[in-house]
Structure 1
Amino acid sequence: MAERRRLLLTPDRLMAGGPVLLNTEEQHYLRRVLRLRCGGRVDVTDGCGRLSVATLLESNLLEIDPTAVHIEAPPQPQLGLAVALMRRGMDEVIRMACELGIDRIQPIRCERCVPQAEHRPERWASIVREAVEQCERLWMPQLLAVEELSQWMGDDQGQRLVGVTREIEPPALNQWLIQKGDPLQLTWLVIGPEGGWTTAEKRLLTEASVHPIQLGSSILRSSTAAVAGAVELVRWRDGLISS
């Protein structure tokens, strides 16, 4: 039996009832990428935990089967990745964070972010969408609007960890999570710019009780550190779920 691929449609389009009218991009994806013919079936997710089965009636029309619905609760604890804008690599960080299972992605602007740092929200939204379809997630991660570090730090949201270098006292990320991680709280990992944190930013992080952690013995690029950290976060959550 041929593998059935997925299409992401927003919840409002699925809740309206009746056949779903496809836009040009969706038609291209089904007909040219998935090679789906009229009468063929495709899995449809709304990005909010619901999985349905649909039949392609015409090139631009899908019929949703209301009897074939699977609903999945959101993963717990929720995991967030806050990443300083970087000149190159942001696209890959967002794609891999989505594929790995991160639930919230927060681009942040820091003092040492270079002027040429990427800021392409429309492109990033497209990457998230494609990654959700490719990796078959039922919950689409939140891609939040870019914020200044000081502004974002003002929000009281869960437990927050920050990657640091050239410090010997902070524990490794996996060690901190196992020993002190709270499975009932949203958990954020903050990755700074490749130029490092300024003195004022370090003070801000300390005053906000953000816990310093290490991501290894070598100095990593911001993009590498973000992906390495995302892997550890998801591995910790998987261990909680299986235990």
Structure 2
Amino acid sequence: MTAPVYFHEPLDAAQIGELFTFTGAEAHHATVMRVQTGEEIHLVDGKGTRLKGEVVSSAEKSVTLKVLNLVIEPVAKPQLTLVQALAKGGRDEQAIESATEVGVDAVIAWQSQRAIVKWEGKKQVKQLEKWLNLLKSASKQARRSRIPSVAYAGGTKELLTKLGETKLLVLHESGEKSLEEIETAWFETEKIALIVGPEGGLTEAELTAFAQAGAQIVRIGNTVMRSSTAGTVAIALVNYRSGRYN
């Protein structure tokens, strides 16, 4: 079974073979989970550093480890961004959690034209914080050393500006090709963004803007998937097509 993961920042002071003590909420969580002396657990900083340690002692809010290994894990290539249109019923939140489990590197909350949910004023700040907490929790569950970044785009123009030179895959039923039919060479790039619309779908204006930006508009198989599902399935396929974890 994979060793449990806890977040701690920074990890700069840790040295292989020496003792390292972490405290606070994550240490408390570890003791609540009844970590045992001699058990291996991992500490990650959310930015790629992973400490593998053996529990030497634990108290209510303090755990001491013997450092067995300390590595900075590489960023997988291509880097993947999920552009998730805001959706009602928490489907957008489901989408980013499962996308984190399958390896997304960044998430952009997108205010698409047909989105029923609106992030305005203080709500935008509050919701971005909520999404970041969801990404952190999902990263911990998936035993990841990196937490995906999160950002907000208030419309298509702002979204395309944020994405810059990133290659775009728009997931839409009007696509002439399925994602599986895209030529393998297309995936040989540094960054790919996968764009998922809301419950009501994308407008013609949005599709046109993405096509003009060089996007590939693709289907995923022969079924129409929910906003909460499409991105995760597409990321899994891109992982395979790009050889991302080979």
Q: Tell me, yes or no, whether TM beats 0.5.
A: yes
| Equivalent of residue 135 in structure 2, options 128, 133, 145 | 128
**Amino acid of the structure 2 residue aligned with 1:113:** A
CA distance in 2, matches of 1:146, 1:216: 28
Residue 5 of structure 2 corresponds to 6
**Amino acid of the structure 1 residue aligned with 2:11:** L
| Equivalent of residue 12 in structure 2, options 5, 12, 15 | 15
2:177 match: secondary structure: coil
CA distance in 2, matches of 1:170, 1:35: 53
**Amino acid of the structure 2 residue aligned with 1:141:** P
The number of aligned residues is 233
Residue 217 of structure 2 corresponds to 212
Cα distance, 1:157 vs structure 2: 3.0
| Equivalent of residue 99 in structure 2, options 97, 100, 111 | 97
Question: Does 1:192 find its partner at 2:197?
Answer: yes
Cα distance, 1:187 vs structure 2: 0.8
Deviates more, 1:191-200 or 1:105-114: 191-200
The alignment-based identity, stated in percent, is 21
Cα distance, 1:98 vs structure 2: 0.6
Contact 1:160–1:211 (8 Å) recurs in 2: yes
Name the CA shift for 1:240/1:124 in 2 (closer, same or farther; >3 Å): closer
Residues 176-202 of structure 1 deviation map (CA, whole Å, 9 limit, x = unaligned): 1x4342323201111111212223222
CA distance in 2, matches of 1:202, 1:3: 42
| Equivalent of residue 186 in structure 2, options 152, 164, 181 | 181
Residue 164 of structure 1 corresponds to 172
| Equivalent of residue 206 in structure 2, options 201, 210, 214 | 201
CA distance in 1, matches of 2:206, 2:227: 16
1:232 match: secondary structure: helix
Residues 132-178 of structure 1 deviation map (CA, whole Å, 9 limit, x = unaligned): 2221122222222344222011231321110122x3x62111221x4
Name the CA shift for 1:72/1:21 in 2 (closer, same or farther; >3 Å): closer
Contact 1:52–1:64 (8 Å) recurs in 2: no
Alignment of 1:19-168 (within 5 A): 22-24=23-25, 26-32=26-32, 34-37=33-36, 41-54=40-53, 55=55, 56-63=57-64, 65=66, 68-88=69-89, 89-115=91-117, 120-155=127-162, 156-165=164-173, 167=174
| Equivalent of residue 221 in structure 1, options 207, 221, 226 | 226
**Amino acid of the structure 2 residue aligned with 1:143:** V
Deviates more, 1:200-209 or 1:64-73: 64-73
Contact 2:48–2:73 (8 Å) recurs in 1: yes
**Amino acid of the structure 1 residue aligned with 2:180:** N
Q: Once superposed, what is the RMSD of the aligned Cα atoms?
A: 2.7
Residues 42-82 of structure 1 deviation map (CA, whole Å, 9 limit, x = unaligned): 21111222211344543222445456213321111111111
Residues 188-240 of structure 1 deviation map (CA, whole Å, 9 limit, x = unaligned): 11111121222322221122121111112222221122222122122223x35
Q: Report the TM-score when normalising by structure 1.
A: 0.82
Name the CA shift for 1:136/1:51 in 2 (closer, same or farther; >3 Å): same
Contact 1:87–1:114 (8 Å) recurs in 2: yes
Q: Report the TM-score when normalising by structure 2.
A: 0.81
CA distance in 1, matches of 2:239, 2:49: 21
